[in-house]
Structure 1
Amino acid sequence: MLAQQRQQAILDRVRASGGVRVADLVREFGVSDMTIRRDLEVLAERGLLEKVHGGATAAGPGSTEEPGFAAKSVRQQAEKEAIARRAALLVRPGTAVALSAGTTTWTLARLLVDVPELTVITNSIRIAEVFHRSPRADRTVILTGGVRTPSDALVGPVAVAAIRGLHVDTLFLGVHGMSPRAGFTTPNLLEAETDRALVASAHRLVVPADHSKWGTVGISTIAALSEAHVIISDPGLPEDAREELSAQAGELVIAGPEEESRVAER
């Protein structure tokens, strides 16, 4: 097997499983430890994977990489739906809520269309469309202006000006990533500024974020983990993440089939 073919096979295995061990690759391909390490070095230099002690893992996204709405909407769908169902329990009739842009908050919006006397503030075109398609005479929807991002958020000075002076009971904040060091982050600088204005407007901050967001870091911080009153995630969240988030945030809620069953029984 040529080096190029072997490297492609290694890359395929990394993408399929998320990581590989040097020892396993040595046995599989029947080559020396040095040869495999050289292959990993070549692939790492091209940015196709990340070398770690004893092997390699899939390359993480860049801090400014911003997938479009369509690409994000098909990721972790079951988890997002469970998270959204749990988040919807926090919304009472007659309150004012803000929903920032994101596919999880968009999933939540579809569960709120029947809540009476609701005031909704959002910088998401997609979320505004959800409420527009299911009109209610007793509901008010405020869509900020601003510059449109790849994720269909409206951001920038116009959006920030629209949000300033508003006061909402609860903000449901969609995030690109969360980590102990960087907190809740986004890959878009203008979106971070807009989201920070939303955080400042809210009495309660709720972050619905599936497990894939843990350890992902965007270029700009929106808020520290400790600023969240409630974080709602799913059973795929690693144990170390649960410990960190439980210690930092007001409350960590794990939303999955078992948890939903317990809620229903109450």
Structure 2
Amino acid sequence: MLARQRQAAILERVRATGGVRVSELAAEFGVSDMTIRRDLDALDAQGLLAKVHGGATVADTSAADEPGFDAKSVRQPAEKGLIATHAARLVRPGAAVALSAGTTTAALARRLVDVPGLTVVTNSLPVAEVFHTGGRSDQSVILTGGVRTPSDALVGPLAVAAIRSLHLDVLFLGVHGISERAGYTTPNLMEAETNQALMASADRLVVLADHTKWGLVGLCSIGELGCADVVVVDDRLPEEGRRVLGERVTELIVVERATGNRAAATEGTPA
């Protein structure tokens, strides 16, 4: 197969499934990982897809684009894992915690399955599945119900009505984008409303976001930067992002990729 034919087949696969992995493509086409990476580089340079760690996803083209869960799961997996590991340390046994939809919150779920006595509220099908298959018998999981989005979130009036009757200790919120102007955003209008209901029911808000979320603006704002009590990010967050978030949120936690330790913590008063 010629390189051009192989790249066309890769692009078709990305558009059909939302995301691909280098290892899977190499095995399928009988070529080396390096060859596939060169193919992805060429397609990325043309703006036809977005190359990510270990694979590629559909290129984001507008504020309303909403990648599927599988497509997002191949983006920055190492950073998301470190953020989730640190966030898990903020959870005490017996707490009532909410996890919004998202791949970083799903990573957090995998680190909470051994915490005793948790009550977990979520509008995420993947998060609920993590606790269903690997959780403890003394944990309770409440799945909100609602209309399913491309990112496997449950949203809409049913979800909002269920959430409004609850009182939660902490919400761990995954977001599509963060910007100084728009705050925390999502490409889905109903998901924004559902996340706002989760925020209103929680005593504390912890936002989980890798560095690629900075400067990205989705269609709908969830809340201003200052509504978060804690933001946990990786150390590739640009200096501008560190400065702005450090000024706006109560605590900014930057986790080092090399060690997994907290690299910096900025405490202040929300603007």
Task: State if a TM-score over 0.5 links the two structures.
Answer: yes
The verdict on how the C-alpha distance between 1:63 and 1:262 changes in structure 2, with shifts beyond 3 A counting, is: closer
CA distance in 2, matches of 1:260, 1:60: 29
Per-residue CA deviation, residues 164-188 of structure 1 (Å, 9 max, x unaligned), is 0211111000100010110000000
Does the 8 Å CA contact 2:256/2:262 hold for their aligned counterparts? no
Is the 2:254–2:262 contact (alpha carbons within 8 Å) kept by the matching residues of 1? no
Q: How does 1:28-177 map to 2 (within 5 A)?
A: 61-177=61-177
What is aligned with 2:213?
213
Superposition deviation, residue 15 in structure 1: 3.9
Q: Which residue of structure 1 lines up, in the alignment, with residue 179 of structure 2?
A: 179
Which fold has the larger relative contact order, with Cα–Cα distance below 8 Å and residues 6 or more apart in sequence? 1
Bigger Rg, structure 1 or 2: 1
Report the Cα offset of residue 262 of structure 1: 6.1
Amino acid at match of 2:234: D
1:254 aligned residue? 254
Paired residues of 1:196 and 1:223 also in contact (CA < 8 A)? yes
Residues 1:259 and 1:249: Cα distance change in structure 2 (over 3 Å):
farther
The one-letter amino acid of 1:78's match is A
CA gap 1:258/1:218 in 2 versus in 1, 3 angstroms:
same
Look up the SS of the partner of 1:260 in the other structure.
coil
- Percent identical across equivalent pairs? 63
Unaligned 5+ runs, structure 2 = 1-40, 49-58, 264-271
Q: How many residues align?
A: 214
Rounded Cα–Cα distance in structure 2 between residues aligned with 1:150 and 1:180: 26
Distance apart, 1:137 and its partner CA: 2.1
Indicate if the aligned counterparts of 2:98 and 2:170 stay in contact, CA closer than 8 A: yes
| Counterpart secondary structure, 2:175 | coil
Q: Contact between 1:83 and 1:256, CA under 8 Å: does it hold in 2?
A: no
Cα displacement string for residues 89-136 of structure 1 (whole angstroms, at most 9, x for unaligned residues): 000001000000000000000000000000000000000000000142
Distance 1:141 1:15 in 2: 40
The one-letter code of the counterpart of 1:154 is L
State the Cα deviation string for residues 204-232 of structure 1 (Å, max 9, x = none): 00001000000111111111100000000
Greater Cα shift, 254-263 or 192-201:
254-263
Alpha-carbon distance between aligned partners in 1 of 2:138 and 2:222, rounded to the nearest angstrom: 32
Q: Is the 8 A contact 2:234 2:257 kept in 1?
A: no
* Structure-2 separation of matches of 1:216 and 1:138: 39
Determine helix, strand or coil for the equivalent of 2:204: strand
Note closer, same or farther for the CA distance 1:84–1:262 as it changes in structure 2 (3 Å cut).
closer
Q: Does the residue aligned with 2:117 lie in a helix, a strand or coil?
A: coil
Distance across 2 between alignment mates of 1:124 and 1:254? 25
Using the size of structure 2 for normalisation, the TM-score is 0.75
**Aligned letter for 1:196?**
Q
Post-superposition Cα deviations, 1:27-66, rounded to whole Å, max 9, x if no partner, equal xxxxxxxxxxxxxxxx9xxx98xxxxxxxxxx86311000
Question: 1:182 corresponds to which letter in structure 2?
Answer: A
Q: CA, structure 1 residues 60+145, in 2 after alignment: closer, same or farther (shift >3 Å)?
A: closer
TM-score normalised to structure 1 length:
0.76
Q: Does 1:195 align with 2:195?
A: yes
Contact 2:114 2:135 in 1 (8 A): no
CA 1:217/1:124 → structure 2, altered by over 3 Å: closer, same or farther? same
